[in-house]
Amino acid sequence: MSDMEKEARAEILGSRIALLFTMVSDLIEFRDLLEEVVSSSSSRASMAASMAPIFGAMGEDYEQVQMENRLYADRASSILNLINTLERSEQTRQEYIVSKAAKDKGREQLRQMFGGKL
């Protein structure tokens, strides 16, 4: 793969990650629902195993029900982890901005005190 191809792929990846973070930030308001999905899907997956004879009598596959509910729980949990990571990184960025502004202000005050010779 040439350097130009790598660079083009990196640009595509960057734009897709930006799109992903935009979508994840739109899901923050649904955190409570995602937490419910994780909890209820985990419970249903556990319940499916205990109800295996009933599912079998009804002609259903309890393992499939169990697997589907585990998938729902895992996927919702992954989205919650992305939301938490996005919020933590945004908080870190904001703290850095505030810290940098305070340092810049301090440097400017020192410059003024010493007649701009720093």
Claim: this prediction has a pTM higher than 0.85: no
pLDDT score of 39 more than 70: yes
Contacts of 55 (CB under 8 A, 6+ apart): 48, 61, 62, 65
Write the CA distances from 76 to 28, 30, 33, 61, 82, integer angstroms.
12, 11, 9, 23, 10
- Structure confidence at residue 51 as a pLDDT band (50, 70, 90): confident
Between 13-17, 53-57, 98-102, 111-115, the lowest mean confidence (pLDDT) is in 53-57
